[in-house]
Amino acid sequence: MLSTDDKKRLLQEMLFARRFEEACYQGAQEGKIGGFVHLYPGQEACAHGVFKAARPGRDYAITGYRDHIHAILCGADPKAVMAELFGKETGSSKGRGGSMHIFDVEHRFMGGYSLVGGPFPLATGIAKGIQLKGDDDISICFLGDASNNQGTFHESLNMASIWKLPVLYICENNLYGIGTRIDRSTSELDQYKRAAVYNIPSAQADGQDVETVYEAAKIAVDHVRSGKGPYFLELMTYRYRGHSMSDSNAYRDDKEEKEWAKRDPIKILRDRLIAAGDYTMDEYKALDKKLIAEIDDDIVKYAEESPEPDVAELEKYVLADNDPYVRINLGGGAS
């Protein structure tokens, strides 16, 4: 059970995530952020509830291109994440990655990847590494429903199951694969059933209610950490914006969007706290104002004012620097 303080902190973090992503939208609209930008509003309860149940910064996490908030929840500095979106040298990937490739390895956020389904084997391999080392960490893989139509889903779940690897697959089912609705692309709508065929325990939960997510994730995390092998958790959710900035969102009807807006994850938690007498609308409004100011004055400003990478360092980071095995004959004499 989450305490009132936990819930208040989650509300603050989810609202921060919402405003952070809106600032990204703004930056992209103004042309300050280039490339594709995939935003998280609507889905906040998923990552927040799961990380609340895990050990962010210590458990390994990996995801697709909708990655800003997952990185921040692992411990990435939001300034470095925003600077990365701006393509700056101070960015988390030194401006070489961009919105879709946020990394913070120190906090064990193992990256955002932009090939749909690509992280499935990577997360599974991280779990293999954990198993070899004998640690009690777990590997958490966050991906969308559409990635389950890639071969990597089936291949990776199969291997995770046969080798009992400590990997937790989180499926954030937002009902759309780019612009194609799930019932037009996928023969089985319930994604957790697809995991079950690999003999992986799985469940489906409401991804709009962070408390529900937390409770479901706790069962999942405990299962994986106890050495029982992988687990698959499907969270039913919805994204408010298009797939990415270039998406007009014309494939969804207003009615569907309005229905989902009623179940906004931030409103659900806020109204529950207010109804319980633990919180007021004034406090919420003050918090919102403070977060917006912090993001504008602190985070976006930092990104804007940071230097760009030096073109002279274009070829840095392609290969390891001065690796001894590249040039030196060691032992045995020259060939």
Partner 1 sequence: MANLMYWQAIRRAHDEEMTNDPLVIAMGEDIGVAGGTYKATQGLYEKYGPERIMDTPISENSYTGLGIGASFIGVRPIIEIMSVNFAWLALDQIFNSAAKVRYMSGGQLTAPIVVRSPGGTAHQLGAQHSARMEKVFMGIAGLRVVTPSTPKQAYGLLKSAVRCNDPVFINEHELMYNLKGEVPDEEYFHPLEGSDIVREGSDITLFGYNISVHWSLQAADILSKQHGIECEVVDLYSLSPLDRAGIKQSVSKTHRAVIVEEAEAMVGVGSEVMAIINEECFFELDAPPVRVSAVHVPIPFNHKLEQAAVPDAKDVVKAVLASLGKS
Contact residues: partner 1, CB under 8 A: 60, 62, 91-98, 101, 103-106, 110-111, 113, 115, 118, 120-133, 139, 151-152, 155-156, 158-159, 162-163, 316-320, 323, 325-333, 335
Q: Considering the complex, what minimum distance in angstroms separates the CB of residue 95 from partner 1?
A: 7
Long-range contacts of range 305-312, CB-CB < 8 Å, 24 or more positions apart? 306/83, 306/86, 306/88, 306/89, 306/90, 306/91, 307/88, 307/89, 307/90, 308/87, 308/88, 308/89, 308/95, 309/87, 309/88, 309/89, 309/94, 309/95, 309/96, 310/89
Q: Considering the complex, what minimum distance in angstroms separates the CB of residue 64 from partner 1?
A: 12
Closer by beta carbon to partner 1, 183 or else 323: 323
Q: How far apart are CA 127 and CA 139, in angstroms?
A: 5
Q: How far apart are CA 94 and CA 103, in angstroms?
A: 10
Q: Is 117 helix (H, G, I), strand (E, B) or coil?
A: coil
Q: Considering the complex, what minimum distance in angstroms separates the CB of residue 65 from partner 1?
A: 12
Q: Considering the complex, what minimum distance in angstroms separates the CB of residue 75 from partner 1?
A: 13
Closer by beta carbon to partner 1, 1 or else 320: 320
Closer by beta carbon to partner 1, 8 or else 38: 38
Q: Considering the complex, what minimum distance in angstroms separates the CB of residue 322 from partner 1?
A: 10
Closer by beta carbon to partner 1, 154 or else 263: 154
Which residues share a beta bridge with 63? 112, 142
Decide if 85 contacts 99 (C-beta within 8 A): yes
Angle among Cα 116, 120, 126 to the nearest 5 degrees reads 140
Mutual angle of helices 44-53 and 265-275, in 10-degree steps: 70
Closer by beta carbon to partner 1, 125 or else 201: 125
Closer by beta carbon to partner 1, 51 or else 120: 120
Q: Considering the complex, what minimum distance in angstroms separates the CB of residue 226 from partner 1?
A: 19
Q: Considering the complex, what minimum distance in angstroms separates the CB of residue 106 from partner 1?
A: 8
Distance of CA 177 to the CA centre of its chain: 16
Q: How far apart are CA 36 and CA 245, in angstroms?
A: 6
Phi, psi of 51 (to 5 degrees): -65, -30
Q: Considering the complex, what minimum distance in angstroms separates the CB of residue 141 from partner 1?
A: 10
Closer by beta carbon to partner 1, 116 or else 291: 116
Closer by beta carbon to partner 1, 152 or else 237: 152
Taking residue 257's Cβ as centre, other Cβ atoms within 10 Å add up to 13
Block residue for tokens 């003999």: 199
Residues counted in the chain: 335
